Amino acid sequence: MSTEREPTKKERRDAARAARIEAEQADAAAALRRRRLRTLLAVLGAAAVLVVVAIIVSGSSDSNSAKSRPGVAQKSAGAIPGQKESAEMLAGIPQSGIHLGSPSAPVRLVEFADLQCPFCREYTLQTLPQLVQDYVRSGKVRMEFRDLAFLGKDSVTAGRQAAAAAEQNKLWNFVDVFYFNQGEENSGYVTPSFLHSIDKAAGVDSATADAFAASAASLTPIKQANALGDQLKVSSTPTVFVGKRGGALQQVEAGPTDVSAYKQAIDGVLGQA
């Protein structure tokens, strides 16, 4: 009769240490999600009573507005950075609310982001154009933008205006141009005049957008994004999931500019479709 070998004292100690580390990591991730939710709720409460103050935003002298998609001209006459690039990338592709692409596309891609997140900016300016060109334009992928708006007051202000752009089916133009002109996190740069410049470049009617952004309804997409993010255990941005239309989602483990990893994940789902 064979008997199992009793683990040595060192093996038991190592196993206990590994279990403790795993538990600590799980606790840390859960704490981060709780902090994100508490920050969001606090900011949403403050945003509900904000008094809008118009501040003139400097134009071409602002170094933050000089950010551009690599390899593409920064600015056309009479346009702010990103206006031309965004229009060209999205031309002819259907938009509906938070969605970009054909409703019958076999693959669903969900992006969790914050408009103030610099890594989200990298993903949008360097990775997104290639995914749109190769998969969305061809009808293979439908994308959705889930704005967590958790980095602070400016994130919520921007998120509410983005929700208003979504009401006009111009969310993806708004988001793309916003990232081109992203400022320093929570520096107060997300002013009415700044947002109106993004609106104009994205083809959004500002008067209509302002009215919606001031309503409680503009907070709904942010709350829905956070609810889904908690369900999927999202703890950072950008976080991207892919899956079959109507099926389960799998997180893409990739850096914001690792285009090949995103393509590999999408191709893997397409191979199953």
pLDDT digits (tens, 9 = 90+) for 82-120: 999 999 999 999 999 999 999 999 999 999 999 999 999
Task: Please give the pLDDT value at position 8.
Answer: 72
Among residues 196, 187, 175, 117, the alpha carbon closest in space to that of 149 is found at 117
Task: Please give the pLDDT value at position 16.
Answer: 58
Task: Please give the pLDDT value at position 79.
Answer: 74
What are the contacts of 243-246 at 24+ separation with CB within 8 A?
Answer: 243/107, 243/108, 243/269, 244/106, 244/107, 244/108, 244/269, 244/272, 244/273, 245/104, 245/105, 245/106, 245/107, 245/108, 245/142, 246/108
Task: Please give the pLDDT value at position 4.
Answer: 61
256 prior amide bond cis, ω within 30: no
pTM (global) more than 0.85 = no
Q: Which residues of the chain have pLDDT under 70?
A: 1-7, 9-78, 273
Assigned CATH class of 83-272: alpha beta
Task: Please give the pLDDT value at position 13.
Answer: 60
Task: Please give the pLDDT value at position 12.
Answer: 62
SS (HEC) of 179-226: HHCCCCCCCCCCCHHHHHHHHHHHCCCHHHHHHHHCCHHHHHHHHHHH
Task: Please give the pLDDT value at position 10.
Answer: 61
Helices 171-180 and 192-202: crossing angle, nearest 10°?
Answer: 120
